[in-house]
């Protein structure tokens, strides 16, 4: 294990239809796709968890330090929306100072980054990834529940100016919603000089309305991109989730993350720490492992190290998406940490 994803909050200021589909637009889309009726009511709300159940910065930094001693080298701060966590530069500074942490990145919807980005960069943040599923203002609002495209575009450009490179932009591709924008998103990345990642739609939505028919397979995405661009595949480490291609003639690359149709479970080197202090060994884990309770009960670093080793030994061999025995996790992506 070399990569730890740390969720800082379960709160989010967006309502993306592939994660928290609470908007009328999302409900209408799913009803249209599911034979005219939704299988479950669209009444999901984020948990109102007491602040006392969320890890403090001191607790997060302690777990990162212990994890680094066991071989973790990369930290990615996630959420929910991590920029909603107050005084975030303080935590970034703490983690950046931990020996052994070679890469400190963040994934954000970008809405608040223009205000907070300079302080985070100064504190030691090294890279940024943003979510941007559409370049069409109306479609962006339909997918996210917020009219925030201009703010996200400004954040992408600011991250480049701040040197938080390579800047990556993620788009979840959903058939019938934004799959017609594949080429335009790739062309935008080529013009602006950042890395574009296309991600298959995964069953992590809070409404449990995911259907395989909505997934645009990675091979279909690649076929369309190759028809438009001159691509050169980039060698990658086995543990990387994205297959990547350079766009010849542009300072940009395209990537495809295809966990549904082309699983990469066998080489996964990631763990996830939820905002309330649970370790998840897979996005699709059914069980979680509590570290917050152990810390607050007085567990020593050695005891926590031993427990982390035990947890890693329980890591699943693979997910079971699309199989008859697949069970969707109780938590949506917003509560797991991407």
pLDDT at residue 180 in the model:
97
Residue 263, C-beta contacts closer than 8 angstroms, at least 6 positions apart: 318, 319, 321
Residue for token pair 């990145």: 105
Instruction: Map out the domains of the chain as residue ranges.
Output: 3-336
Tokens representing 170? Answer: 């993620």
Residue 18, C-beta contacts closer than 8 angstroms, at least 6 positions apart: 143, 172, 174, 201, 202, 204, 205, 333
Dihedral of CA atoms 122, 125, 131, 134 in degrees, nearest 10, equals 40
pLDDT at residue 9 in the model:
94
**What letter would DSSP give residue 215?**
B
**Chunked mean pLDDT (size 10), the chain, 338 residues:** 94 85 65 54 60 96 98 96 97 98 97 98 98 97 94 98 96 94 97 95 66 90 97 87 92 91 78 94 82 98 98 76 61 66
pLDDT at residue 38 in the model:
47
Name the CATH topology of 3-336. Answer: TIM Barrel (3.20.20)
pLDDT at residue 267 in the model:
77
pLDDT at residue 213 in the model:
83
Tokens representing 10? Answer: 């379960």
Which residue in 213, 200, 53, 196 sits closest to 132, CA to CA?
Answer: 196
């Amino acid at each position: 294990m070399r990569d730890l994803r740390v969720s800082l909050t379960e709160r989010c200021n967006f309502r993306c239809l592939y994660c928290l589909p609470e908007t009328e637009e999302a409900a209408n889309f799913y009803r249209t796709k599911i034979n005219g009726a939704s299988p479950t009511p669209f009444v999901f709300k984020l948990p109102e968890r007491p602040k006392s159940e969320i890890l403090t910065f001191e607790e997060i930094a302690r777990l990162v330090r212990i994890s680094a001693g066991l071989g973790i080298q990369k930290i990615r701060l996630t959420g929910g929306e991590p920029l909603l966590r107050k005084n975030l530069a303080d935590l970034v500074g703490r983690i950046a100072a931990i020996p052994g942490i070679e890469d400190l990145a963040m994934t954000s919807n970008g809405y608040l980054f223009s205000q907070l980005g300079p302080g985070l960069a100064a504190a030691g943040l090294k890279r940024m990834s943003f979510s941007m599923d559409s370049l069409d203002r109306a479609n962006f609002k339909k997918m996210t529940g917020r009219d925030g495209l201009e703010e996200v575009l400004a954040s992408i450009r600011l991250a480049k100016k701040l040197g938080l490179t390579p800047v990556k932009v993620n788009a979840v591709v959903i058939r019938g919603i934004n799959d017609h924008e594949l080429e335009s998103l790739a062309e935008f990345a080529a013009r602006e000089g950042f890395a574009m990642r296309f991600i298959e739609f995964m069953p992590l939505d809070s409404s449990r309305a995911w259907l395989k028919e909505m997934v645009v397979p990675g091979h279909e995405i690649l076929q369309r991109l190759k028809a438009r661009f001159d691509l050169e595949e980039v060698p990658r480490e086995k543990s990387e989730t994205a297959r990547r291609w350079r766009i010849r003639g542009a300072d940009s690359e395209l990537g495809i993350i295809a966990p549904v149709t082309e699983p990469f479970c066998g080489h996964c080197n990631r763990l996830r720490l939820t905002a309330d202090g649970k370790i998840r060994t897979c996005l699709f884990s059914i069980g979680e492992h509590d570290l917050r309770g152990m810390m607050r009960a007085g567990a020593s670093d050695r005891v926590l190290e031993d427990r982390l080793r035990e947890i890693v030994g329980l890591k699943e061999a693979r997910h079971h998406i699309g199989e008859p025995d697949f069970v969707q996790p109780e938590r949506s992506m917003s509560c797991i940490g991407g």
